[in-house]
Chains A and B, each alone.
Chain A
Amino acid sequence: MNETTILVATLALVSFGCGDSSSGGTGGTGGEGSAVAVTIQFAAKVGMADFECGEIYDNVGANSTSLQLDDFRFYVQDVELKNAGGDYVPVELDTEANIWQIENVALLDFEDCSELGNPEMNGVVTGTVPEGSYEGLRFVMGVPFDLNHDNPAVAPPPLNLTSMHWNWQGGYKFLRIDSGNIMVNQSNWRMHLGSTGCDGDAQAGGTTMCSNPNRVEVDFETFDPENDTVIADFAALVEGAPLDINQEETPVGCMAGPTDGDCAPLFDNLGLPFDGSEPDVQQFFSIE
């Protein structure tokens, strides 16, 4: 909270990466006082327990299953804080010192034991906002469309992790939680979420729309960036979902396929429509 010296100009230099074709629009934090550093804390939990990679958790899901969890990662985009006037202000992400962030997307990584992961972990989003007081938070779990459908083979960190790629539909897994080891054909349960129903246009060189974007909108009216932590709770994600039962001949767990009924309760808990449903707001994320 004391790195107030990060200059807008410095951020600008760093944010400018290779292969980024986005342009247009205006914005920025200049002109209304100095930008101050802000850190948004995230944590992964399973009910009351902190998430520990490789740990077995009891009594999860509709059938009180015991499950070992081996992966827990997700992307967030468009992190915004609500100021005293009730306006949402974008957090300009620190993409220089923080390799977990690029443009307006960040990877939160709570695994250090997955055979498809890495030892490094990240539980924060860092950036700057105009000086002021903030009392609310909103963000989206996902990767912005342009980045999501750009060439992943040239993507910068944190988009260059092939275990987070979602190549069958283009783009990235916005969320991956795994139990088991797919490399030895042993998968107990997993949730991989990304956009589905994406088109492909050879003339345009790629995807122009996805019928199921599957980005999760998260909005907390009350949030104190100094003291609060955003909790991603596996138990809340799988509430009502029978984890010991899998729809026949579908991937174990949910790979976001629109025909995989195992996804229905999970999508509901994420506030995402599934097979025409009209879900309530997401309950995966909460504030503590």
Chain B
Amino acid sequence: MKHLTHILILLPLILGAGCGDSDTASSSEAWVWDLPDTVPEPRVPEDNPMTAPKVELGRFLFYDKKLSGNQTQSCGTCHLQELAFTDGLAQAEGSTGQIHPRSSMSIANAGYAASLTWANETVVLLERQALVPMFGEDPVELGMANMEDELLRRMRDDERYPEMFAAAFPDQADPINLDSITKAIAAFQRQVTSFKSPVDRWQQRDLTALNESEQRGMALFFGGTNAAGVEDAFECFHCHGGFLFSQSSDDAGQVFNQKFFMNNGLYNLDEDGSYPPGNEGMYEMTGDPLDKGRFKPPSLRNIAVTAPYMHDGSIATLEEVLDHYARGGRLIESGPNAGDGRNNPNKSALLNGFEMTEQEKQDLIAFLRALTDDELLNNPAYSDPFAE
């Protein structure tokens, strides 16, 4: 690069000509976030300001099967609104039938994620993340690799899109391009927020929002003493605290890097902390054995409707999830994944197990269920425009 830089000095006047890269805030009115006072605004990249036309374009693109190579899937295929934008499967299935090693994550509040997906600290922008399912080859998700020209052709040939792209990117002479597709999808996702659960209403001082069981569960969740007399017996909020109910959060005012990955003792294949091959968490990125089994603690918002649980969907119910944590790790007695996760050397020091009465278990689950935001599941602004 340094070889070319002398050039820049010679030609300052040409700078800026024809570089329609920045869709600076357009003339339309400023975007207004629909957020309670208890929640900060998400970080919005300077080159992708929120506008209503862009969000609406993003909604269409998110649900459009034209975004898959064989036109059988859209983003929404694995992210169903009624399941808080998950798919109910243990592991997702791509457009060519390839099974993903991971379970589909909710996109609700994805604009606040300190890092996106289960165990990847590289992907921090929704705009960049959108490229992974579209063009990724391992696994194949939407299966668009090498079909970028075809994708743009489909957009141009559509009766709706040329106008929608023009409205969303008014500064661009030729707005149908890959960058505007990722920006529109990201803008749509960024405003799919979910902060209207009964727990949110309680935190906004609506004392009727939670029943007694839910309140008891909330107290236990946030460090209460259990029946056995142990203070902060359950330690839930250390990983699942904050407005996201995940410590891995970011927002417009955040100045610290809050990316966060930990091992929760699901597996221990060889007493070396190994997880099943092909699904080993941060270790797959770094190769550091200490990263075996380290995944992002997901947000617990809407957790009741996003079963099955964990990165590989290997726990079916919330009851079993609590049993797993009560034991301090999962014991798998036989088969290829046999091992005692409780003894995983990489396991978080917070997961030491705990005693839990049946009542406490039911109270915790009642609280977790009260994190479901029915408006998210039904909001027409987030819904599939192609569904009739």
From known contacts A28-B6, A202-B257, infer whether A259 and B146 are also in contact, taking CB-CB under 8 Å. Answer: no
In the complex, A70 has a CB within 8 A of chain B:
no
Q: Which of B156-164, B228-236, B283-291, B348-356 contacts A (4 or more CB under 8 A)?
A: B283-291
> Which A185-231 residues have C-beta < 8 A from chain B?
185, 192, 196-203, 205-207, 211-212
> Which B164-213 residues have C-beta < 8 A from chain A?
177-179, 181-182
Which residue of chain B lies nearest to A78 when distances are taken between CB atoms in the complex?
B3
Residues of A within 8 A of B179 (CB): 151, 153-154
In the complex, B7 has a CB within 8 A of chain A:
yes
Question: Which of A30, A115, A169, A247 meets B277, CB within 8 Å?
Answer: A247
Residues of B within 8 A of A182 (CB): 96, 137-138, 140, 145
Q: For the complex, would chain B's binding face be called helix, strand, loop or mixed by DSSP majority?
A: loop
Residues of A within 8 A of B14 (CB): 13, 16
State whether B4 touches A259 (Cβ < 8 A): no
In the complex, A242 has a CB within 8 A of chain B:
no
Question: Which of A9, A26, A154, A207 meets B10, CB within 8 Å?
Answer: A9
From known contacts A153-B182, A258-B286, infer whether A26 and B5 are also in contact, taking CB-CB under 8 Å. Answer: yes
State whether B145 touches A104 (Cβ < 8 A): no
State whether B255 touches A203 (Cβ < 8 A): yes
Most chain A CB inside 10 Å of its own CB: which residue of B43, B123, B255 = B123
State whether B147 touches A207 (Cβ < 8 A): no
State whether B124 touches A201 (Cβ < 8 A): yes
User: Per-position contact with B for A10-33: 1 when CB-CB < 8 Å, else 0?
Assistant: 011101101100111111101000
CB of A229 to closest CB in B, whole Å: 24
> Which A240-288 residues have C-beta < 8 A from chain B?
247-251, 255, 257-259, 275
In the complex, B384 has a CB within 8 A of chain A:
no
State whether A251 touches B128 (Cβ < 8 A): no
State whether B5 touches A183 (Cβ < 8 A): no
Which residue of chain A lies nearest to B117 when distances are taken between CB atoms in the complex?
A168
From known contacts A153-B178, A185-B96, infer whether A27 and B3 are also in contact, taking CB-CB under 8 Å. Answer: yes
In the complex, A130 has a CB within 8 A of chain B:
no
State whether A23 touches B96 (Cβ < 8 A): no
> Can you show 15 pairs from A to B with CB atoms below 8 A apart?
A22-B1, A25-B1, A27-B2, A92-B3, A153-B181, A154-B177, A161-B148, A163-B146, A167-B135, A168-B120, A183-B143, A202-B43, A202-B125, A248-B277, A259-B284
State whether B10 touches A12 (Cβ < 8 A): yes
Alpha-carbon gap, A225 to B115, bound state (A):
47
State whether A25 touches B2 (Cβ < 8 A): yes
In the complex, B132 has a CB within 8 A of chain A:
yes
State whether A258 touches B284 (Cβ < 8 A): yes
User: Per-position contact with A for B338-375: 1 when CB-CB < 8 Å, else 0?
Assistant: 00000000000000000000000000000000000000
Which residue of chain B lies nearest to A248 when distances are taken between CB atoms in the complex?
B277
State whether A169 touches B131 (Cβ < 8 A): no
State whether A259 touches B21 (Cβ < 8 A): no
State whether B138 touches A183 (Cβ < 8 A): no
In the complex, B32 has a CB within 8 A of chain A:
no
State whether B2 touches A116 (Cβ < 8 A): no
CB of B82 to closest CB in A, whole Å: 29
User: Per-position contact with A for B246-257: 1 when CB-CB < 8 Å, else 0?
Assistant: 000010001101
Residues of A within 8 A of B182 (CB): 153
Alpha-carbon gap, A16 to B14, bound state (A):
9
Taking A16-B8, A25-B2 as given, write out 17 further A-B residue pairs in contact, using a Cβ cutoff of 8 Å, ordered by the A residue number: A12-B7, A19-B19, A22-B4, A27-B4, A28-B7, A92-B4, A104-B1, A114-B146, A117-B146, A153-B127, A170-B123, A182-B140, A185-B98, A202-B114, A202-B125, A257-B284, A259-B283
> Which B41-77 residues have C-beta < 8 A from chain A?
43, 45, 69
> Which B268-317 residues have C-beta < 8 A from chain A?
276-280, 283-287
Alpha-carbon gap, A27 to B4, bound state (A):
7
Which residue of chain A lies nearest to B14 when distances are taken between CB atoms in the complex?
A16
Question: Which of A22, A30, A167 meets B128, CB within 8 Å?
Answer: A167
From known contacts A117-B146, A162-B146, A249-B278, infer whether A183 and B96 are also in contact, taking CB-CB under 8 Å. Answer: yes
Alpha-carbon gap, A11 to B237, bound state (A):
59
Rank and list the top 8 A-B pairs by shortest CB-CB distance, nearest first. A258-B287, A249-B277, A249-B278, A12-B7, A25-B2, A200-B124, A153-B179, A18-B19
State whether A258 touches B285 (Cβ < 8 A): yes
State whether B3 touches A90 (Cβ < 8 A): yes
Residues of A within 8 A of B137 (CB): 116, 163, 182, 192
In the complex, A158 has a CB within 8 A of chain B:
no
Question: Which of B7, B120, B124, B287 meets A15, CB within 8 Å?
Answer: B7
Alpha-carbon gap, A154 to B20, bound state (A):
10
In the complex, B136 has a CB within 8 A of chain A:
yes
Which residue of chain B lies nearest to A26 when distances are taken between CB atoms in the complex?
B6
Residues of B within 8 A of A212 (CB): 287
In the complex, B335 has a CB within 8 A of chain A:
no
Alpha-carbon gap, A162 to B146, bound state (A):
5
Residues of A within 8 A of B380 (CB): none
Alpha-carbon gap, A185 to B120, bound state (A):
24
Which residue of chain B lies nearest to A29 when distances are taken between CB atoms in the complex?
B3
In the complex, A103 has a CB within 8 A of chain B:
yes
Residues of A within 8 A of B181 (CB): 153
From known contacts A25-B2, A202-B43, A259-B280, infer whether A185 and B144 are also in contact, taking CB-CB under 8 Å. Answer: no
